[in-house]
Chain A
Amino acid sequence: MLEDVPYGTLDLMVLKTLQQMGPLHGYGIARRIEQIAEGMLALNQGTIYPALLRLEQKGWITSEWGSSENNRRARFYSITKAGKKQFTAEKESWARTVAMMERMLGEEG
């Protein structure tokens, strides 16, 4: 189980989640990430909010007030066009990193 979320991956996870699921509020995003991680990740759910702000400042996501399942005020985040583009680029770069790391570590073992 990962103790910390590897640096930079949280953004990618958020983008992926929003791309796949459409507009979600912070809780929904956190839940979704945890579900997919299947317990491999100890996510401090609070850390998602600074990440969301950062992504919004970069223009990759936007947000809008709405009401949640239990009729509470919640901010719903959705991915923008720029965000989608960024996601694709990051996904590729991530894949390359992973491939490279695998080759490297594989050789060693």
Chain B
Amino acid sequence: MRVFFSRLIGMFRRRDVDLQNEIDTHLALLTEQNIRQGMTPAQARAAAYREFGGVARTSEDYRNRQGIPFVDDLMRDVQHGWRMLFKSPGFALMAIATFALGIGVNVAVFSLVNSALFKPLYGERPSELVEVFAGDAEARTGFSSHSYVDYLDFREGSTPILSGLTAFLIEPGAVAVGSVTERINVGIVTDNYFSVFGIRPILGRGFLPEENTTPGTHYVAVISESLWRRQFGSASDPTGKAVSVNHASYTVVGVAPESAAQVFGFQKVDVFVPVMMRGAIRGGPDWLSARGNHEFVVVGRLRPDVSLIDAEARFNQIGQRLQEAYPESWRPGGRSRDLTVVPASRLSLELRGYAEGFGALLMGAVACVLLVTCSNLAGSLLARATSRRREIAIRLALGASRQRVIRQLLTENLVLATFGGAVGMVAAVWTRDLLLALAPSLGVPMTFDLSLDHRVLAFSVVAIVGAALVSGLPAALQGTAASTGLQTQTTSHTTSRQQSRLRNSLIVAQVAISVALVVCSGMFIRSVGKLHSIDLGFEAGNLALLSVNPRMHGYDEARIGTFIQNAVRRLESVPGVQAVSLATRVPMGFDRVRQELNVPAGATAPSDRGFTYVPYNTIGGGYFRTMGIPLLRGREFTELDQTSQARVAIVNETFAEEFWPGEDPIGQLMQGSSGETRQVIAVVKTSKYETINERPKPYLYVPLNRLGRSGFTFHVRMLSEPSATLETLRRDLLALDPALTIFDVQSMNDHLADSLLAVRSGAILLGVLGSLALAVAAVGLYGTMALVIASRMKELGIRLALGARPSELRKFVLTQGMRLTIYGLSIGLAIGIGVSAIIASQFYGVSPSDLTTLASVVTLHAVIALVACWIPAQRAIRVDPLVVLRCD
């Protein structure tokens, strides 16, 4: 260590002059001594030098010991590399551009993945934050959401280990900015939310404990910085002023910094209100005391000296206590909900699984692009090493070790890669907006934090060094191979067999990787295309959707009833409308709510899940007719079901088969989590509910008023695609109440397209990456073929002179190029099919060996390869034999 430091100092405080002094003294003393022993001065001097040994070697040895040789060499090589940049600026520009492409794409995609998966939560010391999870955290099965009463129990039980525990949820809302109503997200948070996260309001304050005591009474809000600027103008202090959220007036008590507007997930929150305002925001009951109402994400801050393991143990105890106290919600069907804590991150544990799969897919794709660019560069560097063979041979002959020359060549390449990486990173930052445009816009205010952080920088450094090594190593090894040392005399017109073999294999690798990538992205793109032909189980065409939330406007239950009746009647009278119904959930929406359900004894429920969670929808009359879902048995809900106390339900075919196999499902009973019993009155055909690629799953329908939520969506069956009629429908609803906010007005097809946006933007991104790789590989193929021909000009010239026909020569060149292409294609196809099979779960309805995709990939590559070989071939046959033979 000490040696290292003194060497480090030695690098800057050279003692070369000192050493020379010392040696001079030494030699003088030695000479004097020799004279004293009777030599002549000349003899004495010669003898002194002899005794001392090589002066130059000593100084060299001394110098090497003084600094850190590796770093010294590195600095010298970097300087050399820098000079080489300007010596062949064309090559340098090409290499930098190629590196920039490969590294830039990687940095851009990594910063996206980083923002979703690796960035810590906002707030102070995010490593202390933990998320409470119910279920198996390892297997990621379970829930990140909890009921408010459970949260209160967690909070009480965890005080020894946590300095604070907060609960929050995000709910869509509307805020009036001037005369416009904006769709925003409302964060419903506990009073300690800001202090647990360590968010300091930039104006005013967070919530006080006394602002979270009585449901529906605390009309206070903390607003986001951007809402403050939009609503009040940055100049004025908004605290104490009123903001209208969901048609109720809240007093602004504070302004949260913009970065805090996205603490969790990607939804941007513009207004925070206390948990006690849950009911007011949603409209209707707040369900805060219902233990089965799991909707809050719970995040706590560990006390400084508490480890995650301690916290896990503590929450395990809390969980066990709750299981004993509330078996009906904590041990449903004998299957206990175990509590644990995990480090909190941007995405709740439930969502991380999806994001990780998708992130891995994207990173794999960009890694492929980097590999292709690296092998492309390796090819160019190899060609360059050929023309630099003389320089390298001289270095070796002068006594540089092979290792030293390799290091020098790699360092040169590192200089190029660093420049390329820097350019790529700048480009990545610039294209950030492009990436964001590709990211799904879901009609929900979202924000991605793509800012560079140390992770992105570290990733970039690794990518740069890795790319420099991978691309530079073949040329460095080949260029310094023992045989080349003897070739100082040979001209650059001949290429060793070994060298051309290496170059050919690089081309094969490029083609193979790009083919593999294009096959995978092709599968993905085709699968997305096929999504539209998947049988949804309902008729998506000619269907219009309009969503309202009358409770947001202060409607009471009776008024909502009248509104629904009037609205349905009004919409039905619009020309072109065939049927109108309503539901609280739209298929393939983002709202995935499940009902805990117990199918009573006597029913032969699948034994391992006697008590189960079933997704459900609350619907109005005529829903199945409107949706085009076939009714297999029984009848639709009627107006009477909506208002009477009769508890009825409709199930789908899969539900009936799973719970009552071989029995008549009509008249069967089931029990909900709140204890009420329902009787099945009808069975409908199974359709798609949450995702397009889902397997048939049990599904439950209940009449609209029963589980009465606030917002619902009118489904309008039309004679034709409703795009032109949407505005008419909207105005008809508005005529009933001009103050009404009508949102998400769109056709079912548009809604489905939106829900596929994430998948589709992934497909677009993969397609772009695939084309990039393809282009780079084509350039590589062209470059290699051009080089091959240039190095064989002489041979070609002789052949022509001896009477070879141009068409024969062209065939010769093309065969060479196409042979490499075919090797690459076969390897690439094999890899592509293999990888597609592994990630088939990401694809919907396309087998990994989709013939159309494969055929188009092969054709595309073959055509591009043909063009890449044709141009140099054309040049080859235009060779004038005399010119070629004369020069040299």
Among A31, A57, A69, A74, point to the contact of B22 (Cβ < 8 A): A74
Which residues of B have CB within 8 Å of A73? 21, 25
CB distance A75 to B66 under 8 Å? no
Contact A46 B32 (CB under 8 A): no
Interface residues as binary, B361-396 with A (CB distance below 8 Å gives 1, 0 otherwise) = 000000000000000000000000000000000000
Q: Contacting chain A: which of B49-57, B573-581, B769-777?
A: B49-57
Return the contact of A27 from the options B7, B30, B62 (Cβ within 8 A).
B30
Q: Residues of B contacting A27 with CB < 8 Å? A: 25-26, 29-30
A57-B26 CB under 8 A given contacts A46-B57, A47-B53, A50-B58: no
Q: Is B65 a contact partner of A53 (Cβ separation < 8 A)? A: yes
Asked whether, in the complex, the Cβ of B65 is within 8 Å of the Cβ of A50, the reply is yes
Query: With an 8 A cutoff between CB atoms, is B61 at the interface?
Result: yes
0/1 interface trace, chain A 27-58, chain B, CB 8 Å (1 if under) = 10011000000000000111101100110111
From known contacts A45-B51, A49-B58, infer whether A58 and B3 are also in contact, taking CB-CB under 8 Å.
yes
Q: Evaluate contact between B23 and A46: CB separation under 8 angstroms.
A: yes
Q: Which residues of A contact B66 (CB under 8 A)?
A: 53
CB distance from A46 to the nearest CB of B (A): 4
Q: Within the complex, what minimum Cβ distance (angstroms) separates A14 from chain B? A: 14
The closest CB in chain A to the CB of B18 belongs to A75
- Whether A74 and B52, one on each chain, are in contact in the complex, defined by CB atoms closer than 8 angstroms, is no
B487 near A: Cβ within 8 Å? no
Question: Which residues of chain B (268-306) have a CB below 8 Å from chain A?
Answer: none
Considering the chains assembled together, what is the distance between the CA atoms of A56 and B6 in angstroms?
9
- A72 contacts B25, C-beta separation under 8 Å: yes
Say yes or no: A46-B29 contact (C-beta < 8 A), given A53-B65, A57-B6: no
List the A side residues contacting B58 at CB < 8 Å.
46-47, 49-50
> With A57-B6, A58-B3, A72-B28 given, is the CB distance from A46 to B22 under 8 Å?
no
Tell me if A59 and B18 are in contact (CB < 8 A). no
Residues in chain A near residue B22, CB distance under 8 A: 25-26, 49, 74-75
For B104-125 the 0/1 string (1 means CB < 8 A from A) is 0000000000000000000000
B32→A70 contact, CB < 8 A: yes
A68 interfacial contact with B, CB 8 Å: yes
Mark each residue of chain B from 34 to 73: 1 if its CB lies under 8 Å from any CB of chain A, else 0.
Answer: 0000000000000000011111011001100110000000
Any A CB within 8 A of the CB of B535: no
Closest to A72 in B: B25
Say whether B19 contacts A49, CB under 8 Å.
Answer: yes
Q: Is the CB of B28 within 8 A of A50?
A: no
**B29 and A58 contacting across the interface, CB-CB below 8 Å:** no
Report the nearest A residue to B28, measured CB to CB: A72
Q: Bound state CA distance, A53 and B6, in angstroms?
A: 10
Residues in chain A near residue B3, CB distance under 8 A: 54, 57-58
Residues of A within 8 A of B19 (CB): 49
- B24 lies within 8 A of chain A by Cβ: yes
Knowing A44-B53, A57-B6, A75-B22, say if A49 contacts B29 (CB, 8 Å). no
Q: Judge whether B65 and A54 touch: CB under 8 Å.
A: yes
Contacts of B454 on A, CB cut-off 8 Å?
A: none
- Whether a CB of chain A sits under 8 angstroms from the CB of B2 is yes
**A68 and B29 alpha carbons, distance in the complex (Å):** 9
Output the least CB separation between B58 and chain A (Å): 4
Shortest CB-to-CB span from B825 to chain A, Å, is 58
Judging by beta carbons under 8 Å apart, are B53 and A49 in contact?
A: no
**Contact in complex: B65, A46 (CB < 8 Å):** no
Nearest B residue (CB) for A45? B52
Number of interface residues of B (CB under 8 A): 29
Q: Which residue of B lies closest to A34 (CB)?
A: B51
Nearest CB of A to B30, in Å? 7
CA of A87 to CA of B327, assembled, Å: 76
Contacts of B28 in A (CB 8 A): 70, 72
CA distance A82 to B872 in the complex (A): 71
Q: Which residue of A lies closest to B4 (CB)?
A: A57
Selected contact of A49 from candidates B7, B23, B51, CB within 8 Å: B23
Across the two chains, which residue of chain A brings its CB closest to B61?
A50
- A-chain residues with CB within 8 Å of residue B10 when the two chains form the complex: 57
Chain A residues contacting B26 (CB-CB under 8 Å) are 25-27, 30, 45, 74
Question: A57 near B53 (CB under 8 angstroms)?
Answer: no
Q: Is the CB of B32 within 8 A of A57?
A: no
Bound-state CA distance A38–B426 (Å) is 69
A63 to B36, CA, bound (A): 29
Q: Evaluate whether A57 and B30 lie within 8 angstroms (CB atoms) in the complex, with A26-B22, A44-B53, A46-B54 already known.
A: no
B53 x A72 contact (CB < 8 A): no
- Chain A residues closer than 8 Å to B57, beta-carbon distance: 46
- Which residues of B sit under 8 angstroms from A56, Cβ to Cβ? 6
Q: Identify which of A25, A50, A59 gathers the most chain B CB atoms within 10 Å of its CB.
A: A50
Q: Which residues of A contact B54 (CB under 8 A)?
A: 44, 46
Complex alpha-carbon distance, A59 and B22, angstroms? 20
The docked-state distance in angstroms from the alpha carbon of A45 to that of B7 is 23
**Docked pose: A81 CA to B43 CA in angstroms:** 42
B residues less than 8 Å from A31 (CB atoms): 33
Chain B residues lying within 8 Å of A58, measured Cβ to Cβ, are 2-3
Question: Do A74 and B25 touch (CB < 8 A)?
Answer: yes
B765-809 interface (Cβ within 8 A of A): none
Residues of A within 8 A of B18 (CB): 75
B68 shortest CB reach to chain A, Å: 11
* A53, closest chain B residue (CB): B65
Given known contacts A53-B65, A75-B18, is B53 in contact with A46 (CB within 8 Å)? yes
For A45, list chain B residues within 8 Å (CB). 26, 30, 51-53
A60 to B2, CA, bound (A): 11
Contacts A45-B51, A59-B2, A75-B18 given; indicate if A53 touches B62 (C-beta within 8 A): yes
Report Cα–Cα, A44/B57, bound state, in Å: 11
Whether A46 contacts B25 by the Cβ 8 Å rule is: no
Per the bound structure, the CA–CA distance linking A49 and B7 in Å amounts to 15
Expressed in whole angstroms, the Cα–Cα distance for A80 and B23 within the complex equals 23
CB distance from A55 to the nearest CB of B (A): 10
How far is A56 from B709 in the complex, measured between Cα atoms in Å? 82
Q: Whose C-beta in chain A lies nearest to the C-beta of B48? A: A45
A21 to chain B, nearest CB (A): 16
Give, as a whole number of angstroms, the nearest-CB distance from B65 to chain A.
Answer: 5
Which residues in B have their C-beta under 8 angstroms from that of A75? Answer: 18, 21-22
CA distance A30 to B24 in the complex (A): 15
Q: A57 to B2, Cβ gap below 8 A?
A: yes
B29 adjacent to A69 (CB under 8 Å): yes
A47 neighbours in B (Cβ, 8 Å):
53, 58, 61
- B796: shortest Cβ distance to chain A, in Å? 58
With a cutoff of 8 Å between Cβ atoms, the chain A residues found around residue B33 in the complex are 31
CA distance A36 to B28 in the complex (A): 22
Q: Which residue of A lies closest to B9 (CB)?
A: A57
A54 to B6, CA, bound (A): 10
- What separation, in Å, do the CA atoms of A83 and B53 have in the docked complex? 27
List chain A residues, Cβ under 8 A from B7: 57
Q: How far is the CB of B415 from chain A (nearest CB, A)?
A: 31
| Nearest CB in chain A: distance from B631 CB, A | 90
Tell me the nearest residue of chain A to B58, going by C-beta: A46
**A42 CB, min distance to chain B CBs, angstroms:** 9
**Bound CA span A37–B3, Å:** 30
- Nearest CB of chain B from residue A53's CB, rounded to whole Å: 5
Give the docked Cα–Cα distance between A105 and B23 (Å). Answer: 41
Q: How far is the CA of A105 from the CA of B51 in the complex (A)?
A: 33
- Determine whether the beta carbon of B24 is less than 8 Å from that of A49: no
* Residues on the A chain within 8 Å of B55, using CB: 46
In the bound assembly, the distance between CA atoms of A13 and B26 in angstroms comes to 18
Which residues of chain B are near A26, meaning CB under 8 Å?
22, 25-26
- Binary A-proximity of B312-332 (CB < 8 A = 1, otherwise 0): 000000000000000000000
Closest 5 CB pairs of A and B: A44-B53, A46-B58, A46-B53, A72-B25, A57-B6
- 18 inter-chain pairs at a CB distance below 8 angstroms, sorted by A residue, are A25-B26, A26-B26, A27-B29, A31-B33, A44-B54, A45-B51, A46-B54, A47-B53, A47-B61, A49-B22, A50-B58, A57-B2, A70-B28, A72-B25, A72-B28, A74-B22, A75-B18, A75-B22
A44-B52, A49-B22 known; 8 other A-B pairs, CB under 8 Å? A44-B54, A46-B23, A46-B58, A49-B19, A50-B65, A69-B29, A73-B25, A75-B21
